[in-house]
Amino acid sequence: MSKKEDFVKFDKVDKSYDGKVLVVKDLNLDIEEGEFVTMLGPSGSGKTTCLMMLAGFETPTNGEIYLDKNPISNIPPHKRGIGMVFQNYALFPHMTVYENLAFPLRVRKISKDDIVKKVEKALSMVSLSGFGNRMPGQLSGGQQQRVAVARALVFDPAVVLMDEPLGALDKNLRESMQYEIKHIHESIGVTVVYVTHDQGEALTMSNRIAVFNDGKVQQLSSPDKLYEEPVNSFVAEFIGENNTFAGEISDISNGSCKVKLDKGEIIANPISVKSVGEKTTVSIRPERALINPKDKMDNNQKGKIEEVIYHGDHTRVRLNLLGNSEFILKVPNSSQNLDIKLGNEINIGWNSHDARALDPK
Amino acid sequence: MSSEQKILSTDGIPLEESLKQAEKKNKIKAFLLVTPLLLFLIITYIIPIADMFSRSIDDKMVTNMLPKTYKAMEQWDGKELPSEEVFKAFYLDYKILVENKTAGKLQTQLNYEKNGFKSVLKKLARKQKKFEEGNYKEQIMKVHKRWRNVDYWRAIKRRAPSYTYSKYLKGVDMYSNEEGKIVQVAENRRIHRILWSRTLEVAFFVTLFCFLMAYPIAHLLATLPMKYSNLLMICVLLPFWTSLLVRTASWMILLQQQGLVNDFFVWIGLVTNDNRPEMMYNKTGTYVAMTQILLPFMVLPLYSVMKTISPSLMRAGKSLGATPGVAFFKIYFPLTIPGIGAGCLLVFILAIGYYITPALVGGASGTLISNQIAYHMKSTLDWSFASAMGLMLLTGVLVIYWIYNKLVGVDNIKLG
């Protein structure tokens, strides 16, 4: 069976709660069957609203959402067949784990034998076999989370929505749960729409990430592309660490451009600039700038070290470079003993391809 | 654990002891903090109840008024008329009472025991002044022929013990008859049982009405946005800030036959002007007024429980495929049971002992057992009977509490 390309489709969706402010603006999003798509964005960016519209708890003010080509705006939540994992798990506290998992099956009037089988299978999938008789209150946060995931999957929904499901867990548990959810997704091939504000989580788990800001999808692409090739300065800023220079285009030709800064000039890769005189923000990832580069690079600058912070596997160096005193470098600790000392002047080089000239902030 | 293994603190004192030492101060402080409350409870609650109990079973009055008689009666088997000795003792006891002008009490008490005793005793009081010494049996029997009836002497003997449970029997329309058997009073005199069952009935229905009305209100309160829910909360609490009498009086204005509600019914043509329904001075008035007055006691516990139920639970239920109705009955409703329990228990217990409202709007068919208690406290001055009924009410409440604990579990109650 070939995968359906636009299994979930947001078509020109607007959403406003008060008739004054649009929380979601002209949202267009296609999600392929079996895909793991993450909606990533700061709080208030409209990502949870999108999820709630898909689940049926909010109705779009304008536009339509399609599930497998069928418009679903007028279908109540309980008829959509979409599983959902909530932020605070939303396990029913008065039911045992077994009853929690059997709940979606019972309301679907599935036979008792099948319920037992399906619940067993779902519990073993999240490695909680034998926990059926516990009450949710007797489980740890991670276990509750797994029950919630199993409950959202037990009735074989076409789509599973997850609304910051790992937000309440501590860091180590969160990381192991990320892998676990990823593996579950890979093994059963369900379509997952995941909402988070944690970019690490998004990068680890997703096939594609939709970065939300201000009610709009800023960029929708795979994690590596999102990190390596952000299309605007919000995405560049929001995902990973980022060094920026604000300037003005002084020359543009043959896929590269010159950007005039307050002090000096750099060569950059024009992404969202087209003509001379435009304002721009140039973004460079910290690991793309090298100290004393051996190879020839088309940007070479001198910078003064202002701060050195030891991080175990790497050292963070803060430089004053071209008038930007927040220029960060990440130096692997295995590399040759460079002369990294406070106050030293060092040579910094990077390729113009890695310096992306984006929209001004 | 053997003594060698005792864990010692750094200074070598056994750990348990040093812990006790450390905690001692806190324990004393804690006790001192609760002492005023404890004293208050003892003085205003425990002691009055103990006093009520002793009053309700106290029957020393007659015993103390006829000391010689009862001493003489110890030998009497109660089958035939007592001996001369008893008659003499009774004459001597009664003489003192008549001289002290306290015979009236005895007459009343013995009349409770045997109808018609009062007139016999009064006649004896008049005649015995002329009694000659000796052969009192003959002289007393000559005063009235009822003195020859052994039943009257048995009635005196029945009052011999200084403690009695007869008040409790009376509370359920029973008494112990001449043979000492416990029997029911005549059917047309069984007033208390009607009152008890009416009290339970009113309390039950008031609880039910309160529950039915409070549940949606509490749900609204818990789910509405703050600015609306605050307003609604004030509306719920407003009656609390108004005097009970004022509220009951306003119900009287509303419900009377020429009242606003009836005027409205006539105006919309529901009833004709000369056929206005009576909504007051009967059970309807009691139901309406008590439901309104006790409603906040149901709303508040329900609200506090509903406030803690995360809205995402209902959403989860719906997303898992449950219709709103199923989600409500399988998820929301079970989670509110602690609040329902607390609210129903509170309202029921308050309703079962309610006094002012039924007294004012209840009329004859809407008064409750508490009104009967008040009647005996204030009008008949039969305090021991009032105490007995009060204790029966208290016992009833404790029984309800116990049943509730068995069914739902008291630790499930949530008041806030």
Which pLDDT score, from 0 to 100, does residue B354 have?
87
Contact indicator for B290, B354 with CB cutoff of 8 Å: yes
**A3 within a domain of the structure (yes/no):** no
Q: How far apart are CA A313 and CA B318, in angstroms?
A: 48
Which pLDDT score, from 0 to 100, does residue B84 have?
86
Mean pLDDT of chain B: 86
Contacts of B330 in chain A (CB under 8 A): 103
Residues A171 and A268 in one domain: no
Domain that holds residue A42: 8-233
The reply to whether residue A93 touches residue B335, judged by beta carbons under 8 angstroms, is: yes
Assigned token pair, A261: 């800064």
Domain C-terminal end among A233, A256, A274: A233
Residues A159 and A112 in one domain: yes
Kindly report the three-state secondary structure assignment for every residue of chain B: CCHHHCCECCCCCEHHHHHHHHHHHHHHHHHHHHHHHHHHHHHHHHHHHHHHHHHHHECHHHHHHCHHHHHHHCCCCCCCCCCHHHHHHHHHHHHHHHHCCCHHHHHHHHHHHCCCHHHHHHHHHHHHHHCCCCCHHHHHHHHCHHHHCHHHHHHHHHCCCCECCHHHHHHCCEEECCCCCEEECCHHHCHHHHHHHHHHHHHHHHHHHHHHHHHHHHHHHHHCCHHHHHHHHHHHHHHHHCCHHHHHHHHHHHHCCCCHHHHHHHHCCCCCHHHCCCCCCCHHHHHHHHHHHHHHHHHHHHHHHHHCCCHHHHHHHHHCCCCHHHHHHHHHHHHHHHHHHHHHHHHHHHHHCCCHHHHHHCCCCCCCHHHHHHHHHHHHCCHHHHHHHHHHHHHHHHHHHHHHHHHCCHHHCCCC
**A31 within a domain of the structure (yes/no):** yes
Q: What is the CATH number of the domain that holds A69?
A: 3.40.50.300
Domain C-terminal end among A233, A255, A276: A233
Q: What are the DSSP calls for A237-283, one per residue?
A: HHSS--EEEEEEEEEEETTEEEEE-SSSEEEEEESS--STT-EEEEE
Residues A272 and A225 in one domain: no
**A1 within a domain of the structure (yes/no):** no
Mean pLDDT of B23-42: 93
Closest CA of chain B from A331, distance in Å: 46
Number of domains, chain A = 2
pLDDT band at B40 (very low <50, low <70, confident <90, very high): very high
Contact indicator for A316, A229 with CB cutoff of 8 Å: no
CB atoms within 10 A of CB A355: 24
Q: Which helix (H) or strand (E) holds A82?
A: strand A82-85
Contacts of B310 in chain A (CB under 8 A): 88, 90
With an 8 Å Cβ cutoff, the interface of chain B facing chain A consists of 310, 312-313, 315-324, 326-327, 330-331, 334-335
Which pLDDT score, from 0 to 100, does residue B413 have?
63
Contacts of A109 in chain B (CB under 8 A): none
Contacts of A103 in chain B (CB under 8 A): 317, 320, 322, 330
- Where do we find the tokens 């800064």? A261
Percent of chain B with pLDDT over 70: 96
Closest CA of chain A from B277, distance in Å: 47
Of residues B316, B326, B335, nearest to A90 (C-beta): B316
Angle between helices B84-99 and B103-113 (to 10 degrees): 130
Q: Is A17 on the interface with B (CB under 8 A)?
A: no
Contacts of B230 (CB under 8 A, 6+ apart): none
Assigned token pair, B403: 């049943």
Contact indicator for A127, A184 with CB cutoff of 8 Å: no
Q: What is the CATH number of the domain that holds A334?
A: 2.40.50.140
Q: How far apart are CA A136 and CA A145, in angstroms?
A: 10
Which pLDDT score, from 0 to 100, does residue B74 have?
84
Chain length of chain B: 416
Contacts of B331 in chain A (CB under 8 A): 92
Which residue of chain B has the CA closest to A57? B315
Domain C-terminal end among A191, A215, A233: A233
Contact indicator for A13, A53 with CB cutoff of 8 Å: yes
Q: How far apart are CA B388 and CA A36, in angstroms?
A: 74
**A2 within a domain of the structure (yes/no):** no
Residues A289 and A141 in one domain: no
Task: Give the model confidence (pLDDT) of B222-249 as tens digits.
Answer: 988 888 889 998 988 888 888 888 888 8
Q: What are the DSSP calls for A149-188, one per residue?
A: HHHHHTT--SEEEEESTTTTS-HHHHHHHHHHHHHHHHHH
Q: Which residues pair with A270 in a beta bridge?
A: A357
The reply to whether residue A107 touches residue B310, judged by beta carbons under 8 angstroms, is: no
Q: How far apart are CA A295 and CA A267, in angstroms?
A: 17
Contact indicator for B299, B217 with CB cutoff of 8 Å: yes
Contact indicator for A111, A58 with CB cutoff of 8 Å: no
Residues A247 and A190 in one domain: no
Q: Which residues pair with A253 in a beta bridge?
A: A256
Which pLDDT score, from 0 to 100, does residue B415 have?
58
Closest CA of chain A from B339, distance in Å: 14
By C-alpha distance, which of A69, A63, A21, A66 is closest to A46? A21
Which residue of chain B has the CA closest to A103? B320
The reply to whether residue B315 touches residue A104, judged by beta carbons under 8 angstroms, is: no
**CATH topology classification for B192-412:** MetI-like fold (1.10.3720)
Which pLDDT score, from 0 to 100, does residue B239 have?
81
Residue B348 amino acid letter: F
CB atoms within 10 A of CB B66: 24
Measure CA B214 to chain center.
Answer: 26
Of residues A57, A104, A108, nearest to B315 (C-beta): A57
Low-confidence spans in chain A with pLDDT less than 70: 1-3, 335-338
Contact indicator for A83, A153 with CB cutoff of 8 Å: yes
Contact indicator for A229, A256 with CB cutoff of 8 Å: no
Residues A113 and A217 in one domain: yes
* Residue among B319, B326, B408 with most chain A CBs within 10 A, to mutate: B319
**A145 within a domain of the structure (yes/no):** yes
**A339 within a domain of the structure (yes/no):** yes
* Ramachandran category for residue A282: left, alpha or beta (phi over 0 → left; psi -120 to 50 → alpha): beta
- Where do we find the tokens 């690490």? A200
The reply to whether residue A78 touches residue B318, judged by beta carbons under 8 angstroms, is: yes
* Residue among B320, B332, B412 with most chain A CBs within 10 A, to mutate: B320
pLDDT band at B2 (very low <50, low <70, confident <90, very high): very low
Q: Per residue in A240-278, is it b (16+ CB within 10 Å) or e — as a string?
A: bebbbbbbbbeebeeebbbbbbeeeebbbbbbebeeeeb
Judge whether residue B352 has pLDDT over 70.
yes
Kindly report whether the global pTM for this prediction surpasses the value 0.80.
Answer: no
pLDDT band at B65 (very low <50, low <70, confident <90, very high): confident
Q: How far apart are CA B160 and CA B125, in angstroms?
A: 21
Which pLDDT score, from 0 to 100, does residue A199 have?
86
Residues A211 and A250 in one domain: no
Assigned token pair, B285: 């008035």
Residues A196 and A247 in one domain: no
Number of A/B CB contacts below 8 angstroms equals: 67
Q: Is A83 on the interface with B (CB under 8 A)?
A: yes
Residues A143 and A285 in one domain: no
Residues A224 and A309 in one domain: no
The reply to whether residue A155 touches residue B335, judged by beta carbons under 8 angstroms, is: no
Residues A89 and A107 in one domain: yes
**Angle, CA of B319, B325 and B329, to the nearest 5°:** 100
Residues A229 and A245 in one domain: no
Q: Is A82 on the interface with B (CB under 8 A)?
A: yes
The reply to whether residue B319 touches residue A108, judged by beta carbons under 8 angstroms, is: no
Q: Which residues pair with A210 in a beta bridge?
A: A39, A220
